[in-house]
């Protein structure tokens, strides 16, 4: 499922770059179709229940899921694709394991094992190589 999700995200990134849409326009389109397709599915399966949640929990999740994740993150990603390109912006998504490790250490008191450190080094190397830093700049004649 993770590979499928990554593949769909890569497709979205490239299509967004080719579309020429502004980040805000792409955000509105994505939120509209996502809500239109997922809401009936949630209601049909019955997986929507607020009976056990407090009002403060519901408000916190609305703020986190709608504003921070749904709006701010998608807008900033669209802006990054527009400015630096689809491949470069998507490469930063690979930094998620590194940030999760740092967040686990800072907020949950987790320890960094040698295996985790090796994984972080491999991920960082992959992002570095994907960024194109090592590729030779193309000459004007080659374009």
* Per-residue model confidence as pLDDT tens digits over 4-15: 776 787 788 888
Residue 132 CA to residue 126 CA, distance in Å, equals 10
Cβ 86 vs Cβ 16: under 8 Å:
yes
Q: Say whether pLDDT at 137 is over 80.
A: no
In this prediction, residues 88-106 reach a mean pLDDT of 81
Average pLDDT over residues 90-118: 85
Average pLDDT over residues 99-125: 88
Give the per-residue pLDDT at 114. Answer: 93
Q: What are the structural domain ranges in the chain? A: 1-84, 86-143
Q: Would you state the pLDDT for residue 40?
A: 81
| Residue 69, both tokens | 């994740």
Mean pLDDT, residues 136-140 taken together:
59
pLDDT tens per residue across span 14-70: 888 888 888 888 888 877 887 788 778 877 887 677 777 788 887 887 787 777 777
Residue 115 pLDDT exceeds 70: yes
Q: What is the H or E stretch that residue 3 is in? A: helix 2-19
Higher-pLDDT residue of 75 and 134 is 75
What average pLDDT is seen over the chain?
A: 79
The C-alpha angle 103, 117, 13, rounded to 5 degrees, equals 65
């Amino acid at each position: 499922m993770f590979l499928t999700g990554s593949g769909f995200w890569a497709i979205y990134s490239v299509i967004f770059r080719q579309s020429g849409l502004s980040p805000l326009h792409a955000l509105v389109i994505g939120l509209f179709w996502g809500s239109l397709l997922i809401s009936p599915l949630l209601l049909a399966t019955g997986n929507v229940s607020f009976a056990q949640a407090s009002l403060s929990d519901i408000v916190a999740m609305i703020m986190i899921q709608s504003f921070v994740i749904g709006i701010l993150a998608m807008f900033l990603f669209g802006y990054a694709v527009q400015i630096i390109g689809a491949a470069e912006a998507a490469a930063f998504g690979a930094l998620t394991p590194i940030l999760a490790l740092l967040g686990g250490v800072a907020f949950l008191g987790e320890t960094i094992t040698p295996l985790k450190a090796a994984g972080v080094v491999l991920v960082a190397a992959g992002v570095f190589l994907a960024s194109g830093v090592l590729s030779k700049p193309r000459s004007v004649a080659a374009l």
